[in-house]
């Protein structure tokens, strides 16, 4: 049900000593073909980790045979030594699999600044262990998904069945979940036949409405990578719409799991903006609320504080009249036409799933951005992470 | 030492029952002239409270005779009734002082959506009490500064002496402190002679480098107002530079008090960006760090997590090379040329005053943005405020 659900893929997850905890920390995913088409989306942060700098170049030709991933260190801002580590990692994988280093995507996650001699040695050791452990099937896929976890409380996997083909995937990410991409590593696999340009369009269409609308804490990572590999092993070439739908389904499933596992959260908040003049406007308005610490703290306190919603959306330049909007908390319209409506006592914010609907009365477009509340545990986890 | 420090001004602060606590909640500041020149800066939030909508129009002619302020309710998103309340408040002040309603600036602070019949009655009662209590001198200025407090732990006042003239002021604000303006009400007074256009330029120059660079929690208020009133009672007409310097000194003093009183904060963080290609770039880069919850939580945990600084500044489009920057925490260079430098153990983040210096090596401009850490108490205060 994971990265190994599609035919033509093997995976492994091993404990190689990158993490001081001794837990699993290196994963390998291999595409046995016959195709090797691939597409990727990387963080839009200008501060990119060494594995991102490597992988962007390596995938420029639209193909990839393997993905090596480690948790326990981001290998970001580690200089020339860190880039050499990434390069050596790709070469070690290539050597073990009999492919070229250019065919290897590298992903890292963990603390920025971590990437010394000990890190390099552990990751290279992990390549050997993972190459030995490669296998098809659910168990291997799960092992890979577990090896990329950092503060994640559980592994994240999803699968979608198309007409004669399968798309599967795994993801990690629990904090620094923000725009462009949430802080995440995602590997998607399919046994469909598809060219790189089709994969690229399908992947960008899917991430645009899923991961790009997950905004847990407004912080964009240096290491975000979403990969899509096609083996063609199913012998089926779906039309682009069908492939895009399946990829989107898997991305949506993984995005929801990331949303539900955000660090320290007690509410999973869906902010839906209706009747916007454009889809961009809807996203901008929803994101302004997702970025409001005051709003997010209010939700933690089960407080239907619609004033903080209006204060947030008023900071955008989207086309709407701030004095004409409706705001619903969990189905109760607490603000109508910019004035108080139903009493706050009618709103029950106890459930984890939280629905905010903002009706702009400005057009026909809509969008939903997902975020989490701002909690004591968020502060605790993120003030203690490095120590 | 306050809003009454300059000659020609009287003030009052009274308890009128707007706040359920029974504390002081209505303040009045009166300019007895001979001049009535005035300037203002209001929130750039499109969601503006009724008093802001009123005051923007009333001050368009460049004059004001009085400022009435209340805590205990923002009178924002309270519809036509709320606007009438503001109008009636101005008229009551005008009637009591024998001036026109157009000469009265109105400011409110507190919860959005609060502005019902009881609110109106209490504020109007407060006008009568305050008009009766008007007095010159420090005691009256302090009473006014206390009456505008919400979650502020202490009143905020400042004064600057020019050559033959004085500028004084009071402020409130402890949360929702953000761009454009921190959530604040500020009344500045001077006995200098000055025309409205000079006051306007002086005020905008002063706020640009003080309140506009205070970004406690990234949340912009609906009620922010900064007023500058000139009585001319000193009989001195300073040159514009001297007036601007004095106004800036008072704004800086008040901004530092707001910074030090931010809700739940345990660190007052000054983020200084050096060697930027432009002043705008320096502000954008500093603000990106001030807005990072991950960075702010790390400071709460006394963690010199420079990786989160680099991840934040990488999201900007300012002109610099992310792999060439230096980052200093409290004087210790923990990152040099985008790589780890001095060990984290050398950094002592125990003091409340926290200095972050980011050297971009991209030009000759610099700027400092002030923010606070993200703490358990911030979450607590902002999840419980309404209840």
The token duo for A104 is: 């290897």
Which residues of chain A have a CB within 8 Å of the CB of B219?
A: 292-294, 308, 311-312
CA distance B181 to chain A (A): 12
Q: Are residues A147 and A175 in the same domain?
A: yes
Contact A358, A286 (CB under 8 A): yes
pLDDT at position A227 is 96
- What CA–CA distance (Å, rounded) separates A148 from A140? 13
Last residue of a domain, one of A231, A260, A289: A260
Tell if the CB–CB gap between B376 and A375 is shorter than 8 Å.
Answer: no
Of B45, B292, B340, the CB nearest to A311: B45
- What CA–CA distance (Å, rounded) separates A17 from A258? 25
Q: Measured between alpha carbons, how far apart are the two ends of chain A, in Å? A: 35
Between β-strands B326-329 and B353-359, what pairing exists: parallel, antiparallel or unpaired? antiparallel
Q: Which residue of A has its CA nearest to B377?
A: A376
- What CA–CA distance (Å, rounded) separates A279 from A285? 10
CA B228 vs CA A61, B196, B215: distances in Å = 62, 9, 22
Structural domain includes residue A2: no
Number of domains making up chain A: 2
Q: Measured at the alpha carbon of residue B219, what is the angle toward residues B217 and B220, in degrees to the nearest 5?
A: 135
Q: Are residues B336 and B188 in the same domain?
A: no
Last residue of a domain, one of A260, A286, A304: A260
pLDDT at A377 over 90: no
Domain that holds residue B15: 9-260
Structural domain includes residue B4: no
Residues of A recognised as catalytic = 183
Structural domain includes residue B304: yes
CA distance A294 to chain B (A): 6
> Minimum mean pLDDT among A10-14, A221-225, B100-104, B328-332: which range?
A221-225
The token duo for B54 is: 């009123």
Which of A224, A265, A315 would you mutate first to test chain B, the one with the most B CBs within 10 A? Answer: A315
Last residue of a domain, one of A202, A231, A260: A260
Tell if the CB–CB gap between A310 and B221 is shorter than 8 Å.
Answer: no
pLDDT at position A1 is 67
pLDDT at position A44 is 83
pLDDT at A296 over 70: yes
* A76-115: pLDDT as tens digits: 989 899 999 999 999 999 999 999 999 999 999 988 888 8
Q: Are residues B162 and B246 in the same domain?
A: yes
Q: Are residues A215 and A296 in the same domain?
A: no
Tell if the CB–CB gap between A79 and B338 is shorter than 8 Å.
Answer: yes
Q: Are residues A212 and A309 in the same domain?
A: no
Structural domain includes residue B3: no
Place of tokens 């996997």: A157
Which of A73, A382, A386, A387 would you mutate first to test chain B, the one with the most B CBs within 10 A? Answer: A382
Q: Are residues B335 and B191 in the same domain?
A: no
Which residues of chain B have a CB within 8 Å of the CB of A118?
A: none
CA distance B220 to chain A (A): 7
Spell out the SS3 assignment of chain B: CCCCCCCCEEEEEECCCCCCCCCCCEEEEEECCCCCEEEEEECCCCCCCHHHHHHHHHCCCCECCEEEEECCECCCCCHHHHHHHHHHHHHHHHHHHCCCHHHEEEEEECCCCCCCHHHHHHHHHHHHHHHHHCECCHHHHHHHHHHCCCCCCCCEEEEEECCCCEEEEEEECCCCECCCCECCEEEEEECCCCCHHHHHHHHHHHHHCCHHHECCCCCCCCCCEEEEEECCCCCCCCCHHHHHHHHHHHHHHHHHHHHHCCCCCCCEEEEEEEEECCHHHHHHHHHHHHCCHHHHHHHHCCCCCHHHHHHHHCCCCCCCCCCCCEEEECCEEEEECCEECCCHHHCCCCCCEEEEEEECCCCCEEEEEEEECCCHHHHHHHHHCCC
The token duo for A95 is: 């050597």
Q: Measured at the alpha carbon of residue A244, what is the angle toward residues A242 and A250, in degrees to the nearest 5?
A: 105
Contact B246, B165 (CB under 8 A): yes
Looking up residue B144, the CATH number of its domain turns out to be 3.60.70.12
The token duo for A188 is: 């998607």
Which residues of chain A have a CB within 8 Å of the CB of B49?
A: none
Tell if the CB–CB gap between A376 and B374 is shorter than 8 Å.
Answer: no
Q: Is B183 a catalytic residue?
A: yes
Tell if the CB–CB gap between B45 and A307 is shorter than 8 Å.
Answer: no
DSSP A291: T
- More reliable by pLDDT, A386 or A51: A51
Which residues of chain A have a CB within 8 Å of the CB of B322?
A: 46-47
Of B335, B339, B379, the CB nearest to A374: B379
Which residues of chain B have a CB within 8 Å of the CB of A372?
A: none
Q: Are residues A56 and A192 in the same domain?
A: yes
pLDDT at position A384 is 67
Of B220, B294, B338, the CB nearest to A176: B294
DSSP A12: E
The region, left, alpha or beta by phi > 0 then psi within -120 to 50, assigned to residue B24 is: beta
CA distance A77 to chain B (A): 5
How many contacts, defined by CB atoms under 8 Å, are there between A and B? Answer: 196
pLDDT at position B387 is 35
- What CA–CA distance (Å, rounded) separates A360 from A337? 9
Q: Are residues B44 and B182 in the same domain?
A: yes
Structural domain includes residue B154: yes
B150 is annotated as contributing to ligand binding: yes
Query: Within chain A, where are the H helices?
Result: 50-58, 79-97, 117-133, 138-147, 196-209, 240-260, 279-290, 293-300, 306-313, 376-384
- Which of B183, B190, B210, B244 is an active site residue? B183
Spell out a b/e string for A341-378, using b for 16 or more CB atoms within 10 Å of the CB, else e: bbebeebebeeeebbbbbbbebbebbbbbbbbbbbbbb
CA B100 vs CA B49, B63, B129, B212, B360: distances in Å = 22, 11, 19, 32, 53
Q: Which residue of A has its CA nearest to B82?
A: A339
A382 is annotated as contributing to ligand binding: yes
CA distance A14 to chain B (A): 27
Q: List the pLDDT tens digit at each of the 387 positions of chain B.
A: 689 999 999 999 999 999 989 999 999 999 999 999 999 999 888 888 999 999 999 999 999 999 999 999 999 989 899 999 999 999 999 999 999 999 999 999 988 888 899 999 999 999 999 999 999 999 999 999 999 998 888 999 999 999 999 999 999 986 654 434 346 899 999 999 999 999 999 999 999 989 988 876 667 788 889 999 999 999 999 999 999 999 999 999 999 998 888 878 899 999 999 999 999 999 999 999 998 988 999 999 999 999 889 989 988 999 999 899 999 999 999 999 988 999 999 999 999 999 999 999 999 999 999 999 999 888 887 786 543
Q: Are residues A241 and A317 in the same domain?
A: no
pLDDT at position A264 is 83
pLDDT at position A101 is 97
Q: Are residues B208 and B322 in the same domain?
A: no
Q: Are residues B137 and B272 in the same domain?
A: no
- What CA–CA distance (Å, rounded) separates B253 from B237? 23
Structural domain includes residue A1: no
Which residues of chain B have a CB within 8 Å of the CB of A375?
A: 379
Looking up residue A316, the CATH number of its domain turns out to be 3.10.20.340
Neighbours of B177 (CB within 10 A): 29
pLDDT at position B175 is 60
Tell if the CB–CB gap between B221 and A311 is shorter than 8 Å.
Answer: yes
pLDDT at A31 over 70: yes
Structural domain includes residue B54: yes
B346 is annotated as contributing to ligand binding: no
Distant-in-sequence, close-in-space partners of A113: CB < 8 Å, separation ≥ 6: A74, A76, A77, A78, B306, B307, B335, B340
B43 is annotated as contributing to ligand binding: no
CA distance B257 to chain A (A): 21
Which of A117, A266, A307 would you mutate first to test chain B, the one with the most B CBs within 10 A? Answer: A307
**Distance of alpha carbon B121 from the chain centroid:** 28
- What CA–CA distance (Å, rounded) separates B4 from A218? 43
Rounded to whole angstroms, the maximal C-alpha distance in chain B is 67
Tell if the CB–CB gap between B314 and A220 is shorter than 8 Å.
Answer: yes
Q: Are residues A256 and A294 in the same domain?
A: no
Structural domain includes residue A343: yes
A89 is annotated as contributing to ligand binding: no
Tell if the CB–CB gap between A383 and B301 is shorter than 8 Å.
Answer: yes
CA distance B267 to chain A (A): 13
Which SS3 state, helix, strand or coil, does residue A62 take?
coil
* A126-185: pLDDT as tens digits: 999 999 999 999 999 999 999 999 888 899 999 999 999 999 999 998 665 443 434 689
A150 is annotated as contributing to ligand binding: yes
Angle between helices A50-58 and A79-97 (to 10 degrees): 50
Tell if the CB–CB gap between B307 and A112 is shorter than 8 Å.
Answer: yes
Contact B255, B270 (CB under 8 A): no
Q: Which residue of A has its CA nearest to B112?
A: A307
**Distance of alpha carbon B165 from the chain centroid:** 23
């Amino acid at each position: 049900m994971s990265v190994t659900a599609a035919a033509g893929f093997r995976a492994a997850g091993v404990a190689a000593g990158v993490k001081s905890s001794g837990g699993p920390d290196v994963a390998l995913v291999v595409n046995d073909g016959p195709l090797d088409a691939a597409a990727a989306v990387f963080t839009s942060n200008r501060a990119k980790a060494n594995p991102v700098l490597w992988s962007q170049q390596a995938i420029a030709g639209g193909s990839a045979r393997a993905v090596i991933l480690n948790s326990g260190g981001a290998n970001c801002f580690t200089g020339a030594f860190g880039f050499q580590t990434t390069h050596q990692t790709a070469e070690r994988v290539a050597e073990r699999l009999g492919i070229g280093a250019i065919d290897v995507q590298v992903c890292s996650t963990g603390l920025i600044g971590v990437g010394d001699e000990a890190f390099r040695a552990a990751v290279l050791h992990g390549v050997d262990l993972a190459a030995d452990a490669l296998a098809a099937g659910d168990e291997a896929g799960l092992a890979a998904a577990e090896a990329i976890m950092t503060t994640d409380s559980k592994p994240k996997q999803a699968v979608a069945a198309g007409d004669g083909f399968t798309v599967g995937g795994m993801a990690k990410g629990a904090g620094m979940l923000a725009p462009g991409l949430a802080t995440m590593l995602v590997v998607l696999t399919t046994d469909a036949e598809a060219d790189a340009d089709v994969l690229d369009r399908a992947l960008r269409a899917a991430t645009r409405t899923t991961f790009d609308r997950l905004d847990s804490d407004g912080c964009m990572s240096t290491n975000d990578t979403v990969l899509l590999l096609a083996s063609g092993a199913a012998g089926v070439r779906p039309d682009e719409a069908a492939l895009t739908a399946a990829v989107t389904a898997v991305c949506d499933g993984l995005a929801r799991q990331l949303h539900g596992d955000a660090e320290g959260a007690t509410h999973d908040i869906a902010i839906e903006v209706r009747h916007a003049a454009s889809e961009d406007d809807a996203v901008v308005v929803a994101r302004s609320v997702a970025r409001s610490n005051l709003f997010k703290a209010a939700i933690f306190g089960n407080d239907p504080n619609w004033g903080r919603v209006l204060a947030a959306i008023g900071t955008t330049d989207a086309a709407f009249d701030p004095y004409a909007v409706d705001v619903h908390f969990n189905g109760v319209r607490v603000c109508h036409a910019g004035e108080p409506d139903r009493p706050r006592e009618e709103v029950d914010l106890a459930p984890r799933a939280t629905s905010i609907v903002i009706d702009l009365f400005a057009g026909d477009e809509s969008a939903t951005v997902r975020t989490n509340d701002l909690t004591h545990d968020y502060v605790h986890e993120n003030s203690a992470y490095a120590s």
